[in-house]
Structure 1
Amino acid sequence: MTIIIEKATIKMKKLLKYILLLIYVALMPACGEDSGLDGVFANKPFALVTAADGGRTSISAVIDDGKRTIRLTFDKKRDVDAVELTFQLNPGYAMVSPKEPETTMDLTQPRTVTVSSGAGEVSYEISARNETPVLSASFLFRGKPIEGVIDHETRTVSFPITTIYASEYPEELLGAVPLDITLSDGYRPTSEKVSYDLSTGESFSVYKGRNTYTYRLVADIAPISVADHLSDFRFRRGVNLAYWMTEADRDWLGYVMPAQFPLWKELGFDHFRVPVDELCIFDREGQFNEKAVGKLHELFTWCEQNGMYAILDMHTLAPREGSDSYREEELYDPAYPEFRTHFVNVWRKLAAEFKAHNPKCVAFELLNEPHDGTPDATGWNKLQNEVLTAVREQDPERIVFVPAMGWQDYNYIKYARVAEEDPNAVVSFHYYLPMLLSHYKMLAWVGYQGAVQYPGVVIPTQSDADKYPQYASFHKTTYNADRIMGEMSNAASDGRNAGLAVHCGEFGCSKNVAEAMRLAWFTDMVAAMEANNIPWTLWECLDGGFGFVDMEYGIYRINCPLLKVLTGKELTDAEAKVLLQKYGFKTE
């Protein structure tokens, strides 16, 4: 506070001295002509010279009375052939040339300004130059220099970028760009920062003396349009090639043989979802398992040649380094940034490896059943953009399935986000509701051994609800065709509102459910999805607890009534047996 008061006092003293000086000069004629200008204004005709800077402000000239020069330096580039000038003279002086104190001059070359006083005339050389704070700004992007276009009038630096695809994410590509900035002599940056976010219009500032100049950085993106391959990806009914390349602790690579690929087309399916675990296709050093990758290439090539489609699904990541198991929540944990980077790099490698396959036949799915713990998929959407950026750098036109959050819950479709101009994105959800029915006496639901019902109240009796209180809510839960139809309608509607096609990547019902109930559930599911134009892939293609093929002691059997519900293919048991034998499956 003391310092502020002292500074104010000093300013007041200076002002008072100046006022007294003016009074003294005004009274000088009364003291006789000999007084003249021998005082403070002797040989100092100009109090101030200003010039319009081309905008709504003005700049002050540097006046050197010793050299008799007036120098104007513009920090905004402007033409100097018609500079609006204002000459403010000290007492006792008058303008000679130009005659008026407010005038316009061509300063493309130095000019002469003449003033007069009682002591005679004196001339000064006046000149102007452009000295902009920022001379250049550039950065290297995808191997090419991007030069900024500097507008000193609006204080913006615009970077024209023509190498970003419409399916990419500028906030990921331009979020931390190291800029090479060249300043005019005497100008200094206000901070040591070197990287800037060009996607949000971040600013940087420079200073010279007491003046500070702030420039806004703008990415002027002219995106490269991408072809719409999704319109040609004619998928409707598919199967998951479950267990073929998952569960790395067991060698499942012989589970599906290339010679058997045609079986599912003959059964009426048109596409495969191919779940893969990272440890099945990569080793611990991050190198490809050539045998597994070779089989994927074989499948994709067969699909291209036979009018089928495939979705490569990253089903489970390897545990992060230092951990013994995969925990998805660690992808969002700031304590493990290297795990997040690892996930991005996995997809960078996959995109490069399979880039040569026809984008109209082979698609990617980023991750199975993510669950970031947020109510609106905030954590996943940020990570998804990072992964998609890595994919799009390699393959900008590949069809990509982005999973709904919450274990691919259809209720999270509304939060799916992709680049607005990306025509090749699909949001995928899974449906196993009600869980007590679809997972009856299986997996995490094996604890319930009472009765179930479909359609109707899932636990039909009060006695079972009382016996298994942890499942009692299902005694108040009803599922039927109308409910499933409504939920599929909501899924389709949320997809449309998000501007995305919708796909049901998994659905199925436990084989422990009574056959009539199970067929009724599948019938209602397929009808609801087809009524809402939702393509789907059934969970499991062979054996397992959910699908349409049964296997016991190495003997395979097709559930023909269920196959008819799924694809409309009608087979007798005998015909199904012959078909299985044709593709090398034991039937007796």
Structure 2
Amino acid sequence: MHRRTFIKNTGFVAAGAMVPAAFSIARAAEKNKLPKWKGFNLLDFFSPNAIGATTKTTEEHFKWMADWGFDFVRLPMAYPSYLKFDRSKNITADEVYQIDEAAVERIESLVLAAHKYNLHVSLNLHRAPGYCVNAGFHEPYNLWTDKPALDAFCFHWNMWAKRFKHVSHKHISFDLLNEPSLRVDMNDQLSKRTAVPGELYRKLVVEASESIRRENSGHLIIVDGNDVGSLVIPEIIDLDVGQSCRGYHPGIISHYKAPWAMKETDNLPEPKWPGQVGNQYLSREMLEKYYKPWIELVGKGVGVHCGECGCWNKTPHDVFLAWFADVLDILSSNGIGFSLWEFSGDFGVLNSKRTDVAYEDWHGQKLDTKLLKLMMQY
């Protein structure tokens, strides 16, 4: 079913919705060096243990995305998922270089399948040698402080750049590192965390960019915002790279009761949008303030895209949709595209396991029609 047919059949009417003027969108889009892509994150290679991965994207899924009007997918990869090593032990620094060709070919096949439906693919190292925003896999070193880790990081990006050497930047981009931060203990999820010092982040971006563009000077590179994607990186504005923000603010809405994001998940204030939640009033105004630096970055000639956004399934659905409408409206009206975390799963348009949604049966999948319609609007 194509986008217009879907909208017609589901009774979606744009009139009365908060849609920015076409002129404003056009002006913002002209400023943004990155296309206003919209789409989904795909978690096929998200787990360090490739055998344990439960997500499988099919060609039919890509067809649905394209028919619904989406043009972008992001592949957050864990580098161990495409390595050969003894998984009964902690990985060693030497084993980080042991590429599993069969696993790499599976990733390449997924990329090419997406390209068949004119979807831009953004490859991302969600877990890189020496860093991941999540713990759960023992890293042999620290990406920010240990040169062997940075060397391995550049090796992996050179490998991917070489693999897609002849693919146009219109079809593929390289999102260097998911949600960077400087954590005291790389293998302790709850250890103290701060933003990465600007000079350290710049060094990583410069060296990784060189390793990628050594294969193709036209390769498109995107860099996630500092402090787990939340902050603009002024130290790299002069570099020929885009920057990626997040659509998770405030966390009490997007990650309500998420055990990996909150130390305490009991006795939380009930989420509302807009409304008083705990000691703060949540509103569109706070979102406008949050995204102002990113919008200003577009005005400075830097490409900006929102690489991840969405809401875990414990937030009431009506609250989620009200908040998400404001997020997407602010991004879209400033020419910034977005990518939902995820396509199918707890955050997704399919099979989110929410208890307060009237799902539509979609070829055997449980489709959140209201969420899909909202995303299609932008």
TM-score of the pair, normalised by structure 1: 0.49
Residue of structure 1 equivalent to 2:28? none
Decide whether aligned partners of structure 1 residues 304 and 375 sit closer, same or farther in structure 2, where only a CA change above 3 A counts. closer
The amino acid that maps onto 2:102 is K
Structure 1 residue 247 displacement after superposition:
1.1
Give the whole-Å Cα distance in 1 for the aligned partners of 2:60 and 2:84: 27
Letter matched to residue 356 of structure 1: H
Residue in structure 2 matched with residue 541 of structure 1 by the alignment? 343
User: Which residue is 2:108 aligned to?
Assistant: 297
Per-residue deviation, residues 69-104 of structure 1 (Å, max 9, x unmatched): xxxxxxxxxxxxxxxxxxxxxxxxxxxxxxxxxxxx
Say which structure, 1 or 2, has more relative contact order (CA 8 Å, 6+ apart): 2
1:331 and 2:134 matched: no
- Which residue of structure 1 lines up, in the alignment, with residue 170 of structure 2? 360
Instruction: Determine the C-alpha separation between the residues in 1 that align with 2:328 and 2:177.
Output: 24
Q: Is residue 277 of structure 1 aligned with residue 277 of structure 2?
A: no
SS of equivalent to 1:412: coil
1:246 aligns with 2:46: yes
Bigger Rg over Cα: 1
| Distance of 1:484 and 1:231 partners within structure 2 | 20
How far does residue 282 in structure 1 lie from its aligned partner after superposition? Answer: 2.5
Per-residue CA deviations over 1:410-464 (Å, capped at 9, x if unaligned) read: x334343453xx3xx21111131111221111123252333323324452xxxxx
Identity score, percent:
22
Distance change (3 Å), C-alpha of 1:432 and 1:232: closer
Indicate the residue corresponding to 1:447 in structure 2: 265
Report the alpha carbon displacement of residue 396 of structure 1 after superposing the two structures with TM.
Answer: 1.0
Q: How far apart are the structure 1 equivalents of 2:164 and 2:223?
A: 18
Q: 1:350 aligns with which of 151, 160, 176?
A: 160
User: How big is the shift at 1:520?
Assistant: 0.2
The verdict on how the C-alpha distance between 1:518 and 1:388 changes in structure 2, with shifts beyond 3 A counting, is same
SS at match of 1:331: coil
Distance 2:312 2:75 in 1: 21
Distance in 2, Cα, partners of 1:496 & 1:232: 10
Aligned equivalent of 2:119: 308
Distance 2:128 2:84 in 1: 12
Q: Which amino acid aligns with 2:340?
A: L
Q: Indicate if the aligned counterparts of 2:129 and 2:149 stay in contact, CA closer than 8 A.
A: no
Query: Equivalents in 2 of 1:551, 1:437: separation in Å?
Result: 16
The question of whether the paired residues in 2 share the 8 Å contact of 1:431 and 1:507 is answered with: yes
User: What CA deviation, in whole Å up to 9, does each residue of 1:466-505 have, x standing for no partner?
Assistant: xxxxxxxxx22222122213332331113433x3111111
| d(CA) in 1 for partners of 2:369, 2:271 | 23
Counterparts of 2:82 and 2:196 in 1: how far apart (Å)?
33
Q: 1:504 to 1:489 in 2, by over 3 A?
A: same
Q: Does 2:217 align with 1:405?
A: no
Contact kept, 8 Å, 2:36 with 2:305, in 1: the verdict is: no
Partner in structure 2 of residue 565 of structure 1: 374
Write out aligned runs for 1:125-140 (5 A): none
Tell whether 2:253 aligns with 1:437. yes
Q: 1:331, CA displacement in angstroms?
A: 1.6
* SS of the residue 1:316 aligns to: strand
Q: Is residue 258–residue 298 contact of structure 1 (8 Å, CA) maintained in 2?
A: no
| 1:483 maps to which of 282, 286, 293 | 286
For the 8 Å contact 2:273–2:322, the answer to whether it is kept is yes
CA distance in 2, matches of 1:374, 1:539: 23
Moved over 6 A (4+): 230-233
Paired position in structure 2 for 1:48? none
What TM-score do the two structures reach when normalised by structure 2? 0.74
Equivalent AA in structure 1 for residue 48 of structure 2: A
Call closer, same or farther: CA 1:272–1:520 in 2, change over 3 Å. Answer: same
Conserved? CA contact 1:416–1:427, under 8 Å: no
Partner of 2:57: 256
C-alpha deviations, 1:11-50, integer Å up to 9, x for none? xxxxxxxxxxxxxxxxxxxxxxxxxxxxxxxxxxxxxxxx
User: What amino acid maps onto 1:304 in structure 2?
Assistant: H
> Relative to structure 1, is the Cα distance of residues 341 and 539 closer, same or farther in structure 2, using a 3 angstrom cutoff?
same
Q: Is the 8 A contact 2:32 2:304 kept in 1?
A: no
Question: Which residue matches 1:369?
Answer: 179
1:134-161 alpha-carbon deviations (Å, 9 max, x no partner): xxxxxxxxxxxxxxxxxxxxxxxxxxxx
- Cα distance in 1 between the residues matched to 2:325 and 2:243: 23
Quote how far apart the aligned CAs of 1:344 are: 1.4
Letter in 2 for 1:315: H
The number of aligned residues is 312
The CA RMSD over aligned residues, in Å, is 2.9
Q: Does the CA contact (< 8 Å) of 2:34 and 2:304 recur in 1?
A: no
| Displacement after TM superposition at 1:271 (Å) | 0.4
Distance in 2, Cα, partners of 1:236 & 1:439: 24
| Cα distance, 1:440–1:548 mapped onto 2, change above 3 Å | same
Matches within 5 A, 1:114-133: none
**Structure with more strand by fraction:** 1
Does the residue aligned with 2:232 lie in a helix, a strand or coil? helix
Distance, in Å, in 1 between the alignment partners of 2:59 and 2:116 is 13
Residues in 1 aligned to 2:140 and 2:327: alpha-carbon distance in whole angstroms: 31
C-alpha contact (below 8 Å) 2:48/2:80 kept by paired residues: yes
Aligned twin of 1:12: none
SS in 1 for 2:166: coil
In structure 1, how many angstroms separate the alpha carbons of the residues matched to 2:140 and 2:276? Answer: 32
Find 2:128's aligned residue among 317, 323, 329: 317
C-alpha distance in 1 between matches for 2:33 and 2:317: 37
- For 1:442 and 1:352, locate their aligned partners in 2 and report how far apart those are by CA, in whole Å: 38
